Structure 1
Amino acid sequence: MPPLRNPILPGFNPDPSIVRVGEDYYIATSTFEWFPGVQIHHSKDLANWDLVARPLNRKSQLDMRGSPDSCGIWAPCLTHDGHEFWLVYTDVKRKDGSFKDTHNYIVRAPAITGPWSDPVYVNSSGFDPSLFHDDDGRKWFANMLWDHTRRRHAFAGIRLQEFDPQTGTLVGPRRTIFHGTDLALVEGPHLYKRNGWYYLLTAEGGTAYEHACTLARSRDIWGPYELHPQKHIVTAKDSPFAALQRAGHGDIVDTPSGATYVVHLAGRPTTQRRRCVLGRETALQAAYWGDDDWLYVKDGPVPSLYVDVPGTRDEEAYWAERRYTFDSASASGEGRLHKDFQWLRTPEPERIFAVADGTLTLFGRESVGSWFEQALVARRQTHFSYDAETVVAFSPSDERQFAGLTAYYCRFNFFYLAVTADEDGNRELLILSSESSWPDGDLRMPFPAEPVPLPARGKVKLALTIRGPQLQFYYAVEGEGQQEELKPVGPVLDASIISDECGGHQAHGSFTGAFVGVACSDLNGTAEPAKFDNFTYRPVRDPTDRYDI
């Protein structure tokens, strides 16, 4: 069986937490400001993964309106105690500056598909919480501790306290059990028990190119914890030419046969500027327990691009075109978005979109990049080269109404081919872009291209191609029962800015990944609708791309 090529979850899927229940593997990853919160993928063979749940999917669980870019849901930890699933996570309301407002919660469910409970609030002392189920039945809650009074950095160590599931509260003493290594910025704790040892796996070094997984152990859950002989069991910090960079924030799982694997986040930088367009992805490494009762990554600690797993990836499915239609799912004519799509922040999606009668209708709300209520529906970019197409019907009255196709990271970096109008109401096509204009988030001026006049009525087909770092927009106007051929509009644009490194806060503060989708804004406040007939995402193999999997 040929080895599997990493990552196992391509595109924006960071901070993986893995659990096995019987023959089934589940991975939970961070979603930040994208709603619904937390992605959970399922696999039987560690090679083929299917998105099966986004558990934080209603207002009583999550409301991120007003949360800045890369805030929202951080570092979920998914576990099973033999009876039910437990999911702990942080809802971040502020991350920049000396203070962080980080609220930690727990939800639980009898099955991975739910129903998931309303959240139980735990604490706000830091982020990246985890829940450990000890073999004596006790449950322990760990999170990194944020201390804004520390001069060098505010990462003050890993804090532990017992959690009482009956009262839903922390009980007993709380102590800092691990302060990390000289790499600093210790976070992402996971606890395990094996052969009488408690093992503590943490992330260190930040989320950029110094990232690492650090392992320590103790005979007592309270410590003291001794460091692994290698200190960091997964890291590419000293290997700048490794295919998988920014490797860290991991978790451990055993197969039914006793093999051990480590999942971790990683990035695949492109261009001379080392930009991770696909964000932080989930990779997998084979590992083994040594005679000294320490875990070692095979051929590690530098992460390998290839890993032997029980299964073989379905390459045909990975490269298949995805054509999304918006068909009704019920007799009432109401439908649901395909599971590949998400939107931003709001738990009231009915205010920003509706799916019915083969159409996705977006109701124009705030501007693209708003932290409160913007109508933007998109899916992850999971390939370095792809095509995207949609057809839109939109009748703007002025320049404050616009709708169309967008390649989007956050308010600081996006490209947007929009149907809009001039001040006299003449419909036109315009490229709006915010080319890494941090800290301002301004549109690029002058515009990348002159406005293209459009007929007063009729649908418009919008398309883009991305070939590695190059983005080209296209359009065609629908005429009398027919449609023009697509033709390019504007110059070739730098697609690599849709990346962590250009996200307004650079790699240590921008945490999501590239999306492609549709959007609609009405800055007049009249909620002018835009109707989209379909959406196509077509992966393209690039023979020059060393990362094609």
Structure 2
Amino acid sequence: MPYKNPILPGFHPDPSICRVGEDYYLVNSTFEFWPGIPIYHSKNLVDWKLIGHVLTRSSQLSLSGVASSGGVWAPTIRHHEGKFYVIVNALCYYQPGSWKTSRTFYCSTSDINSYGSWSEPIYVNQKGIDPSLLFHDGKVYVTSQGVNNDKDIFWGIYQSEIDIETGRHLTERKQLWKGHTYRGTSLERPEGPHLYYIDDWYYLLLAEGGTEERHMVTCARSKEPYGPWEACPGNPLVHHYPQSVEEQPIRCTGHGDLFQDHLGDWWIVFLGTRRYPDTYDHLGRETFLAPVEWQDGWPVINKGNPVSLKMDVHRSLKQDGAKRDLGFEDNFDHEELDKSFNFVRNPYPDTYSLTERPGWLRLNTSHISLGQTDSPSWVGRRQQSFRGEFRTLMDFKPKMREQEAGLTLHANDYVHAEVAITFTKEHGRSVFSRVWRSDLDDLDELNIDKKREILTYEALNDDEPVELFIKAEPTTYSFGYKNSKSGECKVLGTMSTKWFKRTQPLRLHFTGVYAAMYCTDNGYSTLGHADFDYFKVTAEED
């Protein structure tokens, strides 16, 4: 039966998966967003349900001061003797070209379906990123990309054995692999290691070539857990470069995790981005699925062919067959936010309330403005489709020009755009769009200090709630509002999605676009709030 890729659209990078009986559990990186590490459940590998998060308490992890694309990197999920384990690396600080203190830790639970059931962290003194666990023959191996000191990154794969109860090292850390040579060139940054024991062989699955167009999945094997290693003659196993966008819209493929389903078939989940002609990868890195066969003791992905958006794979696992619905609506009638909502970093306790005005989400005015390396009064959800719309009905009565609230599109601290309400002396209560210019000839030449914007204000002339919307197309975003009296929907501004591409000129970012509700006074510490009656997402499947 055919299925569609990606199986988890929108910002879902670095997938890791494990199976327990006929149940499948998958986790992803979350970087600076909170709660950390979503857990998805499936019975058929195609239809996934978000059942919770691993990191739900600040006692497990604080993201205070973590720069965009820092935070939670590349978790691995494994199951052993009735317990689930997720091991991960968290960077306390990150900027492109430099990183500072990182910590490897794991959390565990015996009840993966219970919210907040994951343990406090157990730390492993193994520097580096992308850690993985292998339970085999009474031993527990931690495999990760290694760092040779606090300043310099040594792009190799390292491994040690630990006591799973305490995280204490039982062996010294040893280097396993420096990476492969592809087409006569040494690949850069071997990372994302996953170690498996299959049919008397240890297999080491890696991501190499960096996180952009040259990203790929490679493999090596050994009879011993520390080598020597033999490179797979079919490397790279997954590689979608340098085909044109017209030939292959799936790009930047890497960071895979192998697994066997309950019927004995093998699969791989991996990350990638989607691009079409004249569009960009602004949705972020997503989770893809492909079948695996074994030939001469080596894994072969999708019969050696590039992975497609529509996979013609016949298998006996049952799928519901319905068209995937990426739409969403929350009327805030419950005591807790829907699990699919996120914050930027750990939220402050007084940020939001679902009880102060029942049936509405209240966001209290925060002195933290959009773009600060902090946690603003902000509640958002991933954009999962290139085409769709975000709408909210907001009740907000600002008293000064510094106060604003509305909808924002958020890529990171440096790139965002809004349709919102504020107060001006000229117009009184006003709706405005803050839209980055889309008519620049070459955004790659743009400097962060030279960014330009258009501010469009329009007086509202009443205090009634206002419906705000952001309409998404593959190449443009439109920002507008619905007039409470005439019912007319008016677009205030548009911008190119080019500004939100992952390699946009301000920063390389590892995340994807969010649409969020927010409320701020831009540093003035005033008292105020904005109430949101609903948050609706309509989406056309791509």
TM (normalized to structure 2)?
Answer: 0.91
Q: Give the Cα–Cα distance (whole angstroms) in 1 for the partners of residues 452 and 322 of structure 2.
A: 39
The match for 1:237 is 241
The match for 2:183 is none
Q: Give the Cα–Cα distance (whole angstroms) in 1 for the partners of residues 488 and 361 of structure 2.
A: 22
CA deviation string 1:378-397 (max 9, x = no partner): 11111110011111111212
2:448 matches 1:440:
yes
CA deviation string 1:5-35 (max 9, x = no partner): 2111111100000100100011111111110
Structure 1 residues 470 and 260 mapped into 2: Cα distance closer, same or farther (>3 Å)? same
The match for 2:303 is 299
2:220 matches 1:216:
yes
Does 159-168 or 437-446 show the bigger shift?
437-446
The match for 1:4 is 3
Deviation beyond 4 Å, 4+ runs, structure 1: 147-150, 434-439
Q: Give the Cα–Cα distance (whole angstroms) in 1 for the partners of residues 17 and 220 of structure 2.
A: 19
The match for 1:545 is none
Following TM superposition, by how much is the alpha carbon of 1:313 offset from its aligned partner in structure 2, in angstroms?
Answer: 5.2
The match for 1:517 is 516
The match for 2:37 is 38
Tell me the SS of whatever aligns to 2:391. strand
Structure 1 residues 446 and 497 mapped into 2: Cα distance closer, same or farther (>3 Å)? closer
Following TM superposition, by how much is the alpha carbon of 1:68 offset from its aligned partner in structure 2, in angstroms?
Answer: 0.5
The match for 2:286 is 281
Following TM superposition, by how much is the alpha carbon of 1:500 offset from its aligned partner in structure 2, in angstroms?
Answer: 1.3
Match of 2:403 among 401, 404, 410: 401
Following TM superposition, by how much is the alpha carbon of 1:355 offset from its aligned partner in structure 2, in angstroms?
Answer: 1.3
Following TM superposition, by how much is the alpha carbon of 1:428 offset from its aligned partner in structure 2, in angstroms?
Answer: 1.2
Q: Do the aligned partners of 1:432 and 1:443 also contact (CA within 8 Å) in 2?
A: no
Tell me the SS of whatever aligns to 1:299. helix
Following TM superposition, by how much is the alpha carbon of 1:505 offset from its aligned partner in structure 2, in angstroms?
Answer: 2.0
Q: Do the aligned partners of 1:59 and 1:347 also contact (CA within 8 Å) in 2?
A: no
2:23 matches 1:24:
yes
Q: What one-letter code is carried by the residue in structure 1 that aligns with 2:464?
A: G
Structure 1 residues 417 and 402 mapped into 2: Cα distance closer, same or farther (>3 Å)? same
CA deviation string 1:391-441 (max 9, x = no partner): 111121222111001121112222200101125782111212456797637
The match for 1:178 is 177
Q: What one-letter code is carried by the residue in structure 2 that aligns with 1:285?
A: A
Does 404-413 or 278-287 show the bigger shift?
404-413
The match for 1:544 is none
Q: Give the Cα–Cα distance (whole angstroms) in 2 for the partners of residues 538 and 208 of structure 1.
A: 30
Q: What one-letter code is carried by the residue in structure 2 that aligns with 1:14?
A: P
The percentage of aligned residue pairs carrying the same residue is 32
Following TM superposition, by how much is the alpha carbon of 1:98 offset from its aligned partner in structure 2, in angstroms?
Answer: 3.9
Q: Give the Cα–Cα distance (whole angstroms) in 2 for the partners of residues 413 and 532 of structure 1.
A: 24
Does 165-174 or 51-60 show the bigger shift?
165-174
Q: Do the aligned partners of 2:12 and 2:285 also contact (CA within 8 Å) in 1?
A: yes
Structure 1 residues 315 and 407 mapped into 2: Cα distance closer, same or farther (>3 Å)? farther
Does 207-216 or 159-168 show the bigger shift?
159-168
Following TM superposition, by how much is the alpha carbon of 1:493 offset from its aligned partner in structure 2, in angstroms?
Answer: 1.7
Structure 1 residues 298 and 487 mapped into 2: Cα distance closer, same or farther (>3 Å)? closer
Q: What one-letter code is carried by the residue in structure 2 that aligns with 1:234?
A: V
The match for 1:260 is 266
Structure 1 residues 494 and 239 mapped into 2: Cα distance closer, same or farther (>3 Å)? same
Following TM superposition, by how much is the alpha carbon of 1:251 offset from its aligned partner in structure 2, in angstroms?
Answer: 0.2
Q: What one-letter code is carried by the residue in structure 1 that aligns with 2:258?
A: I
2:87 matches 1:85:
no
**How many residues are paired up?**
519
Following TM superposition, by how much is the alpha carbon of 1:239 offset from its aligned partner in structure 2, in angstroms?
Answer: 2.6
The match for 2:376 is 374
2:120 matches 1:113:
no
Does 461-470 or 305-314 show the bigger shift?
305-314
Tell me the SS of whatever aligns to 1:180. coil
Tell me the SS of whatever aligns to 2:172. strand
The match for 1:247 is 253
Q: Give the Cα–Cα distance (whole angstroms) in 1 for the partners of residues 84 and 404 of structure 2.
A: 43
Q: Do the aligned partners of 2:435 and 2:454 also contact (CA within 8 Å) in 1?
A: no
CA deviation string 1:463-498 (max 9, x = no partner): 1211211222221243xxxx4323323233213422
Q: Do the aligned partners of 2:326 and 2:540 also contact (CA within 8 Å) in 1?
A: no
CA deviation string 1:293-326 (max 9, x = no partner): 111112325223333252335544x236422111
Q: What one-letter code is carried by the residue in structure 1 that aligns with 2:299?
A: L
Q: Give the Cα–Cα distance (whole angstroms) in 2 for the partners of residues 538 and 442 of structure 1.
A: 34
Q: Do the aligned partners of 1:387 and 1:465 also contact (CA within 8 Å) in 2?
A: yes
Structure 1 residues 454 and 55 mapped into 2: Cα distance closer, same or farther (>3 Å)? same
Does 424-433 or 6-15 show the bigger shift?
424-433
Does 141-150 or 461-470 show the bigger shift?
141-150
Q: Give the Cα–Cα distance (whole angstroms) in 1 for the partners of residues 108 and 221 of structure 2.
A: 28
Structure 1 residues 341 and 160 mapped into 2: Cα distance closer, same or farther (>3 Å)? same
Q: Do the aligned partners of 1:37 and 1:55 also contact (CA within 8 Å) in 2?
A: yes
TM (normalized to structure 1)?
Answer: 0.90
Q: What one-letter code is carried by the residue in structure 1 that aligns with 2:284?
A: G
Tell me the SS of whatever aligns to 1:497. helix
Q: Give the Cα–Cα distance (whole angstroms) in 1 for the partners of residues 344 and 118 of structure 2.
A: 21
Which runs of 5 or more structure 1 residues have no equivalent in the other structure?
330-334, 542-547
The match for 2:532 is 532
2:270 matches 1:269:
no
User: After the TM superposition, which residues 413-428 of structure 1 pair with which residues of structure 2 at under 5 Å, given as runs?
Assistant: 413-423=415-425, 426-428=428-430
Tell me the SS of whatever aligns to 2:129. coil
Superposed CA RMSD:
2.2
Which runs of 5 or more structure 2 residues have no equivalent in the other structure?
181-185, 438-442
Tell me the SS of whatever aligns to 1:502. coil
User: After the TM superposition, which residues 306-325 of structure 1 pair with which residues of structure 2 at under 5 Å, given as runs?
Assistant: 306-307=310-311, 308=313, 309=315, 310-312=317-319, 314-316=321-323, 318-319=324-325, 321-325=327-331
Q: Do the aligned partners of 1:178 and 1:225 also contact (CA within 8 Å) in 2?
A: yes
Structure 1 residues 215 and 62 mapped into 2: Cα distance closer, same or farther (>3 Å)? same
Q: Give the Cα–Cα distance (whole angstroms) in 2 for the partners of residues 88 and 108 of structure 1.
A: 9
Following TM superposition, by how much is the alpha carbon of 1:373 offset from its aligned partner in structure 2, in angstroms?
Answer: 2.2
Following TM superposition, by how much is the alpha carbon of 1:271 offset from its aligned partner in structure 2, in angstroms?
Answer: 4.5
Structure 1 residues 127 and 119 mapped into 2: Cα distance closer, same or farther (>3 Å)? same
Q: What one-letter code is carried by the residue in structure 1 that aligns with 2:401?
A: E
Q: What one-letter code is carried by the residue in structure 1 that aligns with 2:36?
A: G
Q: Give the Cα–Cα distance (whole angstroms) in 1 for the partners of residues 326 and 228 of structure 2.
A: 51
The match for 2:412 is 410
Q: Give the Cα–Cα distance (whole angstroms) in 2 for the partners of residues 489 and 502 of structure 1.
A: 25
Does 396-405 or 278-287 show the bigger shift?
396-405
Q: What one-letter code is carried by the residue in structure 1 that aligns with 2:190?
A: V
Q: What one-letter code is carried by the residue in structure 1 that aligns with 2:161?
A: E
Does 484-493 or 225-234 show the bigger shift?
484-493
Match of 2:494 among 480, 492, 495: 492
Q: Give the Cα–Cα distance (whole angstroms) in 2 for the partners of residues 441 and 52 of structure 1.
A: 42
Q: Give the Cα–Cα distance (whole angstroms) in 2 for the partners of residues 485 and 499 of structure 1.
A: 34
Following TM superposition, by how much is the alpha carbon of 1:94 offset from its aligned partner in structure 2, in angstroms?
Answer: 2.4
Q: Do the aligned partners of 2:434 and 2:453 also contact (CA within 8 Å) in 1?
A: no
Does 72-81 or 292-301 show the bigger shift?
292-301
The match for 2:431 is 429
CA deviation string 1:61-120 (max 9, x = no partner): 121121101111110000001320000011112233344432111100002234110011
The match for 1:59 is 58
Does 305-314 or 229-238 show the bigger shift?
305-314
Q: What one-letter code is carried by the residue in structure 2 that aligns with 1:205?
A: G
Q: What one-letter code is carried by the residue in structure 2 that aligns with 1:452?
A: E
Q: Give the Cα–Cα distance (whole angstroms) in 1 for the partners of residues 320 and 3 of structure 2.
A: 7
